[in-house]
Amino acid sequence: MSNPAWGMNTRMIHSALNLDSQSGAISQSVIPAVAYAFPDVETAAAVVSGEKPGIYYGRYGNPTVRILEQKIAEMEGGEDSVGLSSGMAAISSALLAVLQQGDHVVVTKDVYGGTYSFLTSLAPRFGISFDFVDCTNLHAIKAAIQPNTKAIYIETPSNPRLTVLDIQAISKISQAYSIPLIVDNTFMSPCLQNPLLLGADLVVHSATKYLNGHGDVLAGFVVGNKTYTQFIRKKIAGDLGQNLNAWEAYLILRGLKTMGLRVQQHCNSAQLVAEYLESHPAIENVFYPGLQSHPQHLLAKEQMRGMGGIVSFEVAGGIEEGKRFINKLKLAMISFSLGDPETLVQHPATMTHAAILPEERLKFGITDGLIRLSVGLEDPQDIIADLKQALLVEARIHV
């Protein structure tokens, strides 16, 4: 365990640091084993039953992954965490850990398209029902809770509108009804927000994004108490085969060492980009918690230690002008992901949130002209210059 007096950057480097006992190597060993040997049958049986700690088969754990799980748990202030094969594996596993046939879940209406797809297409096959609710309205959350409601699920800031939800206030509602609160913390990372410390019960991450930070890993995490994480490890990740492999765990361990520096740069540049876009005549709306115009700006300052690296906005002229703008970008690349060193741009209505019906997208505030920009680690003046040249045509049309 690390020193509790250490700052976040120090703990990200030193927590769960496991030096090789023979070589003294500082870098974490990659152990891609599937099977593990035991000295006798009794020990093997004890490990399988959980009476003794240990790993017995690759689907149920891995030494390299375990080091990473301990580090993530410490970063989020959780008792334990479980590593999974993708962010969607984390989201679906967290939901299935607390829900079963006949249960109902209250879900924020500002939700990632993959989460929406799981809830609308697969959850009903498990007999799970749901309601999408405006979770900025605490009364609406309470009104949506039914006798069979067994969880509240939110993400904050939301994807892609950057709506900020009051985790502490919502956690008080979940506690009053004795139901777990699950928070998707992907956009913030443990550097900027710790939902468990604000009252949440489970935190999910797409480690594909800021935790790894280099665009070369698919992974996810669920963080919480050991009752939840052990159930996910044994009955969901293990039995359904959603486990994280050793090599990708190693890459995330390497990425975490620089996450503090990376996230700070993402935040600094995103603030400059958001301010530039808000001042541009061809931009109708900018959604970024760091702007005073953001409806939850004050809440964001209280709840978050930084405003993140995602900026969403609407180009005047709707979808056609938005497409023209995206296609004119030269530095920023059109891509689905976020949190990479490269600046990435995407059109939610036809990309990440395409699974949501058009009329439903509008209810969630996802207009056809909305654009999401994942601000990268390039020099911010170069990112802004790229936006400027792409907006020249739109500015001439709409001024």
**Is 116 a residue whose pLDDT tops 50?**
yes
Check: CB of residue 47 under 8 Å from CB of residue 53. yes
How do 181-184 and 202-206 pair as beta strands? Answer: parallel
Residue 399: pLDDT band with limits 50, 70, 90:
very low
**Is 107 a residue whose pLDDT tops 90?**
yes
Check: CB of residue 28 under 8 Å from CB of residue 18. yes
112 tagged catalytic: yes
**Is 307 a residue whose pLDDT tops 80?**
yes
209 tagged catalytic: yes
DSSP, residue by residue, 24-39: --SSPPP---SB---S
Residue 393: pLDDT band with limits 50, 70, 90:
low
Residue 126: pLDDT band with limits 50, 70, 90:
very high
**Which of 36, 56, 59, 172 does the annotation list as catalytic?**
59
**Distances in whole angstroms, Cα of residue 254 to Cα of each of 71, 257, 294:** 12, 6, 35
CA–CA distance, 33 with 27 (Å, rounded to integer): 18
pTM (2 d.p.): 0.94
| pLDDT, mean of residues 10-38 | 88
DSSP three-state, residue 285: strand
| pLDDT, mean of residues 36-40 | 96
Q: Domain spanning 8-30+61-256: which CATH class is it, in words?
A: alpha beta
In this predicted structure, which of 6-15, 197-206, 247-256 has the lowest mean pLDDT?
A: 6-15
Residue 153: pLDDT band with limits 50, 70, 90:
very high
Number of other residues whose CB lies within 10 A of the CB of residue 33: 13
Q: CATH: 3.90.1150.10, 3.30.70.100, 3.30.365.10, 3.40.1440.60. Which one for 260-398? A: 3.90.1150.10
153 tagged catalytic: no
How do the domains of the chain map onto residue ranges? 8-30+61-256, 260-398
CA–CA distance, 185 with 202 (Å, rounded to integer): 10
**Which of 184, 201, 340, 386 does the annotation list as catalytic?**
184
59 tagged catalytic: yes
| pLDDT, mean of residues 382-391 | 98
DSSP three-state, residue 151: strand
**Helix or strand run (H / E) with residue 301:** helix 297-303
pLDDT of residue 359: 72
**Which of 112, 116, 153, 250 does the annotation list as catalytic?**
112
Check: CB of residue 97 under 8 Å from CB of residue 236. yes
Residue 350: pLDDT band with limits 50, 70, 90:
confident
Taking the alpha carbons of 358, 219, 54, 229 in that order, is the dihedral positive or negative? negative
pLDDT of residue 151: 98
Domains 8-30+61-256 and 260-398 agree in fold:
no
**Which of 66, 109, 150, 209 does the annotation list as catalytic?**
209
